[in-house]
Structure 1
Amino acid sequence: MSVLRADHVWMPHGWESSIDLTIRDGVFATVAHSGDGTAARLGRWVVPGMPNLHSHAFQRAMAGQAERQTDPADSFWTWRETMYAFAGRVQPDDLRAIAAQLYMEMLEAGFTQVCEFHYLHHRPDGGRYDDPAAMSRALIEAAEQTGIGLTLLPTLYQTGGFDGRALSERQRRFAHATDAYLDLIAILRKGENDTLRVGVALHSLRAVPPESLRAVLESGLVDDAPIHIHIAEQTAEVDDCLAVRGARPVQWLLDNAPVDARWTLVHATHLDDAEVRRLAESGAVAGLCPTTEANLGDGVFPLRGYLDAGGVLGVGSDSHISVSPIEELRWLEYGQRLVARRRNIAVSESSDSVGETLWGDALFGGARASGVPIGAIEAGAAPAAGHRADLLVLDDAAPQFAGRPKHQVIDTLVFSGNRNLVRDVMVAGRWCVRDGRHRDRDLIEQRYAETIRRLQD
């Protein structure tokens, strides 16, 4: 057990001062105003760790490789071909090294949990590894090495379009028959612990036929598990869904599946007004990835209408052309400003601060998407007890914080430039980052560099 004292802790209702955090077995045992003075000092500004609700770890290694024009109409679909070519070279040892590098970067940036939407299941030619969970285990081992919390989401991927076409040669390593997929989930769920949660991912409506979707949902394996799905990311996807199923993607899903708070709809970029309202009412999380959505030219999520409807959201770094919760939140707001041509869009009835609104919403939605009790530190309230002890200590020596009153700290964190303002990071009561540096940075970077050189050759 340890007792740590923070000068100021950011809680769901705002900053509280002089807080003692008692941590036992990796969770907050108590959160209370300072007691007898025996606690060790933690820092001046302490905030909960941020969940990253959408990741394709292997794509971190190809960041920067798809930024040359291959077609005057370059889009998500041409980028996808570059991604497939790179994915076809990645084996378990490669994935472990790439994911460790990525997860280390996430921790140093302030992410303490990652939802890994994982579809590189088999050998590049589609053949099976001797261990059907070999690629999943590589991700688990990378998370264990770095200390980040992992929500592993093995992905069901069966068809190449709404018309049921067969997968292409480059997609074969993603494929599972439904029974084999459920067997994989059952195997992986046996290994769950305080930093590993296993859920399910349905790649997309175009990749999972309705009968397979129903079989997974009715299997009993996912009754208490997070469920994630890519949806409505591209207008072509919306058009194809309308042509084949007679409904827009989010409309079809809400009409045909028991969408509730277990679900995360990743991207959900292209919604009509009725879908915005119904998605918000469902309690599902909108999984927004603004830097990737901008990089791919996806479009802009209807944020203001979704917030007005009471919708839940979180953020992810997806393709990892950026690995920073700050940049995701910043560009979530900036995209709205560019469309609306006005400022300070993401505010709420309870807060006129854009930074605090976005940070609080992303903590809440990210925790829901992760299926893990994280994302909040709350004094004297039931949610604190049993929450995993994840926290960030901000760099109070940074000039950006000089003279800042409490009510400006989160806005400064989100909107004051590119210096990393996270000093220390704790996950499940264990320090992963101290003074801005991961405990195993040198070894992880060395293995990553060796892996990338080999893959590039």
Structure 2
Amino acid sequence: MESRKLHFASALTSQGWQEDVTVAVDAAGLITSVESSSRAGERVPGIAIPAMPNVHSHSHQRLMIGLAERAGPGADSFWTWRETMYGFALRLSPDDLEAVAAQLYVEMLKSGFSVVGEFQYLHHQPDGTPYDNPAEMSLRCMAAAEQSGIGITLLPTLYAFGGFGGQPPVEGQRRFINDAERFLGIYERLEAESKGHALRRVGISPHSLRAVTPELLREEIAGIAPDAPIHIHVAEQVKEVDDCLAFFGKRPVEMLMAEFDVSDRWTAIHATHITVRETSALALSGAIVGLCPTTEANLGDGIFPAVDFMKARGAIAIGSDSHISVSPAEDLRMLEYSQRLRDRTRNALAGEPGQSTGRTLFEAACKGGALSMRQPVGAIEVGKRCDIAVLDSDHPSLIGRSGDAALDTWIFSGGSPCVKDVFVAGRHVVRDRHHISEEQIAARFRAAIGRLSS
């Protein structure tokens, strides 16, 4: 891409809201200058904001949205939902996963995300036999990201056991299971495929403390780059906490903090059921908590103690997880509303009196998401990648709104329909709500759904 200049009537920069902003972008897609009171460059109507990182995605679960919303014969829970999910996970071919992931990534871009953290645990063939290339399924997610133009932090999942203490995996997990050597082989292949690709990063995702032992996880961490991100599901369910206590005598977050040097390279996904002491310790560690509020609500997980965590200066990020919703606005709204419902209050996460709740949450999730993804995004400033979402100032929800009021209205009312344009590394991938490869990607997605339905 050649260097270019983009002009926005209004933009949320690292210096705050500014008018008549010209953003200069170099050939690598990085911002080289941000000038206010300047009308140079290609005019892009609307309100420019940093595009949001999506730190937690299971692409294959995009297939089952809306198909697990009927009550079963017994009490429904995360664990009954998981059995339904396994049924879908066992059916996808590599072509299917690539088609589904590409469609999902288009949907993410159109909602204002520009980076996806793919927590990828479909490693093997449906019968559990490894592919000739053990990284086949993860590489298909990389290919889908390339087709859509989204940035990706690929997080292949280490899944070795079916429960705490090395319990054998269940039948529905047969596509997930790897030993230490094969797993590191996957990581190394993805690292090699990412060299020279500005939009790609690679880390690992030990699935959970019930799926790996501390000894195995230490072995894997020793084999990856010293700053590679590590994402792990932790304390999502009460049963998980109870089982961890029964086996180790410690709660999951307590166990994680005791066994590992937890720092800002770690992202604790969900961390829903944590004590006051764990909340404080997690915040002080610098670890990011990856929250997926719409999925957590859909699964009946519980409510994360965000008020206390953010007061302790804990870092947060958001992810769409099972993709019940693919919208940063909806996940930030759900995060705030969960705190309001629990505490019977309003503007729970605004911070100081007079601050915009939407601005506080948005900037926190951008900053935490960029760190979690190890990607140079999350702000409109020199040195960052030019990942920008543009809100439609002519959308009925936003007419007459500017600054923090526009951001609050987008998050608490407008949602995805307000996002008009999206740039990734300066490339205009969504223009007037239309993705540049929308028709081709949608056609492959329809074909995959047809194969799976038959």
* Aligned pair partner of 1:198 in 194, 202, 205: 202
* Aligned pair partner of 1:279 in 268, 271, 282: 282
Q: Does 1:375 align with 2:378?
A: yes
Partners of 1:9 and 1:55 in 2: CA distance: 28
Could you list the per-position Cα deviations for residues 185-214 of structure 1 after superposition, in whole angstroms to 9, with x for gaps in the alignment? 111101222111111100000001111011
Could you list the per-position Cα deviations for residues 208-264 of structure 1 after superposition, in whole angstroms to 9, with x for gaps in the alignment? 111101101222x13111110000000000001111011110011011101101110
Q: Does 1:344 align with 2:341?
A: no
RMSD, aligned CA: 1.3
Q: Which residue of 2 aligns with 1:92?
A: 94
Partners of 1:32 and 1:272 in 2: CA distance: 46
Q: Which residue of 1 aligns with 2:11?
A: 9
* Aligned pair partner of 2:392 in 390, 395, 399: 395
Q: Does 1:237 align with 2:234?
A: no
Q: Which residue of 2 aligns with 1:137?
A: 139
* Aligned pair partner of 2:20 in 12, 18, 25: 18
- Alpha-carbon spacing, 1:286–1:80, altered in 2? closer, same or farther (3 Å): same
TM (norm. structure 1) is: 0.96
Gaps of 5+ in 2: none
Shift of 1:354: 0.8
Could you list the per-position Cα deviations for residues 155-174 of structure 1 after superposition, in whole angstroms to 9, with x for gaps in the alignment? 00001111311111221110
Q: Which residue of 2 aligns with 1:381?
A: none
Shift of 1:12: 3.9
Mapping for residues 224-263 of structure 1, pairs under 5 Å: 224-263=227-266
Q: Does 1:414 align with 2:411?
A: yes
Q: Does 1:353 align with 2:356?
A: yes
Q: Which 4+ stretches in 1 moved above 6 angstroms?
A: none
Shift of 1:7: 1.6
Gaps of 5+ in 1: 379-383
- Alpha-carbon spacing, 1:130–1:419, altered in 2? closer, same or farther (3 Å): closer
Shift of 1:13: 4.9
- Alpha-carbon spacing, 1:133–1:142, altered in 2? closer, same or farther (3 Å): same
Q: Which residue of 1 aligns with 2:65?
A: 63
- Alpha-carbon spacing, 1:419–1:147, altered in 2? closer, same or farther (3 Å): closer
Q: Does 1:46 align with 2:43?
A: no
Mapping for residues 282-361 of structure 1, pairs under 5 Å: 282-349=285-352, 352-361=355-364
* Aligned pair partner of 1:77 in 76, 79, 85: 79
- Alpha-carbon spacing, 1:333–1:82, altered in 2? closer, same or farther (3 Å): same
Partners of 1:148 and 1:316 in 2: CA distance: 15
- Alpha-carbon spacing, 1:194–1:255, altered in 2? closer, same or farther (3 Å): same
Q: Which residue of 1 aligns with 2:220?
A: 216
- Say whether the 8 Å CA contact 1:200–1:225 is kept in structure 2: yes
Q: How many corresponding residue pairs?
A: 449
- Alpha-carbon spacing, 1:200–1:350, altered in 2? closer, same or farther (3 Å): farther
- Say whether the 8 Å CA contact 1:216–1:222 is kept in structure 2: no
- Say whether the 8 Å CA contact 1:351–1:357 is kept in structure 2: no
Partners of 2:213 and 2:175 in 1: CA distance: 18
Report the residue type matching 2:390 in the other structure: V
Report the residue type matching 1:131 in the other structure: N
Secondary structure at the residue paired with 2:114?
Answer: strand
